[in-house]
């Protein structure tokens, strides 16, 4: 029996287009922008990576996000049941339903370590409020962070608290939970990021940080590994291929234009990522820190910055509070796909399902907790810790592959009438251009990066 395509999702609807933009931006704008983008850019040489990242957002990210939101709004179910509904109604190959399963799995894997990293931010709320970083040196800021990572019990405690908050909000549903959470805190996060950027301009290292972000090493453009990492980062920060945008798309009102809305979301997301880099790197260079120091970059530089100016403890505390809320909105979006599916499939109470999902994710997240201390010398494969392995597989393989399949299905498997209805295209020319960009150029870009990475591996086997 084919699944129906209701005009509204059973889980609720966004009350307005702008609340969907804030919610989707909340999913996209989070730790991935403020924590991960600067340190990944630092590890990959700065300028060339930033430009490659922006190209990936424009040519690949935006078309695939439009496709994913469009699928969700047409299906009005969880990602798995949305794909099942669209496949059954269009009499397509049932294998396409794997897109939904892959997205839910990728989101679950990412959430398992995301909760751990978000716990770091929560810990820093307390440390900053206590005045720990007032006039602290760069060396001591680094030691404070390293000592924290060395304690699995501390990491587990903050991971548990963050996961409990996420499940509590998710259990309340779309309007009562998520909308109330993002209505105020996302705008405040933008304001505080601008405050930090203003401080960074006067830190003494702004020119050096700016040059690092935008001076380009032309040789990096030929490195397929950097293209893969930049594309994975664009998918990560835009929440693509992990089921989140498809789940959120199911709650989008019919009168909201998909294309313009997605461009707004992607623009906000990119501005935050670049602004975070411009805020953090000048502080890195002004204090003689290493731009490629990895995951601890934000947790050393931000406390160091706020510890140097008046009312720094107040502003620093607010910053980490709002980073925590940005992380919460992202974590909620990662939880929603699997939760919505289980509610639909078993007709279970939302709160009970939320608790079960949270416990399972917490258990998986222990692998990430231990990767920074008692399992630091244990590698899953190729020298990768549990955290590194989950991060690499989910971000650099599952998300781009999921995005590739989403674009191909949305463009070439949905009926033309559905595309015209969802995108609002009356002109055949516009539809043709859309199919060229989203159905040919974006998938070929993803495929080219994959082939460049896989070909040396294949050659190694053949030799």
pLDDT digits 0-9 by tens, 418-457: 888 888 877 778 888 989 999 999 998 888 777 766 666 5
- Asked if residue 414 is part of any domain, the answer here is no
Specify the long-range contacts of residues 222-225, CB closer than 8 Å, at least 24 apart: 224/449, 224/452, 224/453, 225/453
Split at pLDDT 50, 70, 90, the class of 119 is very high
Beta bridge partner(s), residue 381:
384
7-16, 90-99, 361-370, range with the lowest pLDDT: 7-16
Residue closest to 248 by CA, chosen among 326, 171, 339: 339
Computed over its alpha carbons, how large is the radius of gyration of the chain? 21
Beta bridge partner(s), residue 384:
381
- Asked if residue 281 is part of any domain, the answer here is yes
Mean pLDDT of the chain: 83
Task: Please enumerate in sequence order all residues whose Cβ is within 8 A of that of 335, keeping only pairs 6 or more positions apart, or say none.
Answer: 107, 111, 166, 167, 170, 354, 357, 358, 361
Split at pLDDT 50, 70, 90, the class of 396 is confident
What is the Cα 200 distance to its own chain's centre? Answer: 25
- Asked if residue 298 is part of any domain, the answer here is yes
- Asked if residue 128 is part of any domain, the answer here is yes
> Encoding tokens for residue 410?
């949305």
* Higher pLDDT, residue 357 or 31: 357
Sign, CA dihedral 42-43-44-49, equals negative
Do 424 and 257 meet the contact criterion of CB atoms below 8 Å apart?
yes
Q: How many domains does the chain have?
A: 1
Split at pLDDT 50, 70, 90, the class of 460 is low
Rounded to the nearest 10°, the torsion over CA 99, 100, 106, 110 is 140
Q: Please provide the DSSP assignment of 245-291 as one string.
A: HHHHHTTS-TTS-HHHHHHHHHHHHHHHHHHHHHHHHHHHHHTT--T
Q: Is residue 147 predicted with pLDDT exceeding 90?
A: yes
195-199, 363-367, 436-440, 452-456, range with the lowest pLDDT: 452-456
pLDDT at residue 3, as a whole number: 56
Q: Is residue 25 predicted with pLDDT exceeding 50?
A: yes
> Encoding tokens for residue 455?
């070909």
Q: Is residue 204 predicted with pLDDT exceeding 90?
A: no
pLDDT at residue 279, as a whole number: 82
Split at pLDDT 50, 70, 90, the class of 162 is very high
pLDDT at residue 1, as a whole number: 41
Rounded to 5°, the CA angle 214-215-219 comes to 120
Range of the domain at 155: 17-48+101-239+257-402
* Higher pLDDT, residue 54 or 10: 54
| Spatial separation of the C-alpha atoms in residues 441 and 61, rounded to whole Å | 11
- Asked if residue 82 is part of any domain, the answer here is no
* Higher pLDDT, residue 384 or 12: 384
Q: Is residue 2 predicted with pLDDT exceeding 70?
A: no
CA end-to-end span of the chain:
51
What is the Cα 426 distance to its own chain's centre? Answer: 33
Q: Is residue 243 predicted with pLDDT exceeding 90?
A: no
pTM of the predicted model, to two decimals?
0.84
Q: Exposure pattern of 390-427 as b/e (b: 16+ CB <10 Å)? A: bbbbbbbbbbbbbbbbbbbbbbeebeeebbbebbebee
Residue closest to 259 by CA, chosen among 437, 451, 81: 437
pLDDT at residue 157, as a whole number: 97
CA separation (Å) from 434 to 57, 64, 229, 235, 425?
16, 11, 26, 20, 10
54-68, 74-88, 268-282, range with the lowest pLDDT: 268-282
The secondary element (H helix, E strand) that includes residue 175 is none
Q: Is residue 98 predicted with pLDDT exceeding 50?
A: yes
Q: Is residue 177 predicted with pLDDT exceeding 70?
A: no
**Percentages (nearest 5) of helix, strand, coil residues in the chain:** 80, 0, 20
| Spatial separation of the C-alpha atoms in residues 379 and 377, rounded to whole Å | 6
Burial class (CB in 10 A: 0-12, 13-18, 19+), 377: exposed
* DSSP-assigned letter for residue 311: T
Rounded to 5°, the CA angle 169-170-175 comes to 80
**3-state class (DSSP) for residue 185:** helix
- Asked if residue 188 is part of any domain, the answer here is yes
Split at pLDDT 50, 70, 90, the class of 93 is very high
- Asked if residue 307 is part of any domain, the answer here is yes
Burial class (CB in 10 A: 0-12, 13-18, 19+), 222: exposed
CB atoms within 10 A of CB 190: 17
Split at pLDDT 50, 70, 90, the class of 16 is low
pLDDT at residue 458, as a whole number: 59
- Asked if residue 421 is part of any domain, the answer here is no
pLDDT at residue 129, as a whole number: 92
Q: Is residue 106 predicted with pLDDT exceeding 50?
A: yes
């Amino acid at each position: 029996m084919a699944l129906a395509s209701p005009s509204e999702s059973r889980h609720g609807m966004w009350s307005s287009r702008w609340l969907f933009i804030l919610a989707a931006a909340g999913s996209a704008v989070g730790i991935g922008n403020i924590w991960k983008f600067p340190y990944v850019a630092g590890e990959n040489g700065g300028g060339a990576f930033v430009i490659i990242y922006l190209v990936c957002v424009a040519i690949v990210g935006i078309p695939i996000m439009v496709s994913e939101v469009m699928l969700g709004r047409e299906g009005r179910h969880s990602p798995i049941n949305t794909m099942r509904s669209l496949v059954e109604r269009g009499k397509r190959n049932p294998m396409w339903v794997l897109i939904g399963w892959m997205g839910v799995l990728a989101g679950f894997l990412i959430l398992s370590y995301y909760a751990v990293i978000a716990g770091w931010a929560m810990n820093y709320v307390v440390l900053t409020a206590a005045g720990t970083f007032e006039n602290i040196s760069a060396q001591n800021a680094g030691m404070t962070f390293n000592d924290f990572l060395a304690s699995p019990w501390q990491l587990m405690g903050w991971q548990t608290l963050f996961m409990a908050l996420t499940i509590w909000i998710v259990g309340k549903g779309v309007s009562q939970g998520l909308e109330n959470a993002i209505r105020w805190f996302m705008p405040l996060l933008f304001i505080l990021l601008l405050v930090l950027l203003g401080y960074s301009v006067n830190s003494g290292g702004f020119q050096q940080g700016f040059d690092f972000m935008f001076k380009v090493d032309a040789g990096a453009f030929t490195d397929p590994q950097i293209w893969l990492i930049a594309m994975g980062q664009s998918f990560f920060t835009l929440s693509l291929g992990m089921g989140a945008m498809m789940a959120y798309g199911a709650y989008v009102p019919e009168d909201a234009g998909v294309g313009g809305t997605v461009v707004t979301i992607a623009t906000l997301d990119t501005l935050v990522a670049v602004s975070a880099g411009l805020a953090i790197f000048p502080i890195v260079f002004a204090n003689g820190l290493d731009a490629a120091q990895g995951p601890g970059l934000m947790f050393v530089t931000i406390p160091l910055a706020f510890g140097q100016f008046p009312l720094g403890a107040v502003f620093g505390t607010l910053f980490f509070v709002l980073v925590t809320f940005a992380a919460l909105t992202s974590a909620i979006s990662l939880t929603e796909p699997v939760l919505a599916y289980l509610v639909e499939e078993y007709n279970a109470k939302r709160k009970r399902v939320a608790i079960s999902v949270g416990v399972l994710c917490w258990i998986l997240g222990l692998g990430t907790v231990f990767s920074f201390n008692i399992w630091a010398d244990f590698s899953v494969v190729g020298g990768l810790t549990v955290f590194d392995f989950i991060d690499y597989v989910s971000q650099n393989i599952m998300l781009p592959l999921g995005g590739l399949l989403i674009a191909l299905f949305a463009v070439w498997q949905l009926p033309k009438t559905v595309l015209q209805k969802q995108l609002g295209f009356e002109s055949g020319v516009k539809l043709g251009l859309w199919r060229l960009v989203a159905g040919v150029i974006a998938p070929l870009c993803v495929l080219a990066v994959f082939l460049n990475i896989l070909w040396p591996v294949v050659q190694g086997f053949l030799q």
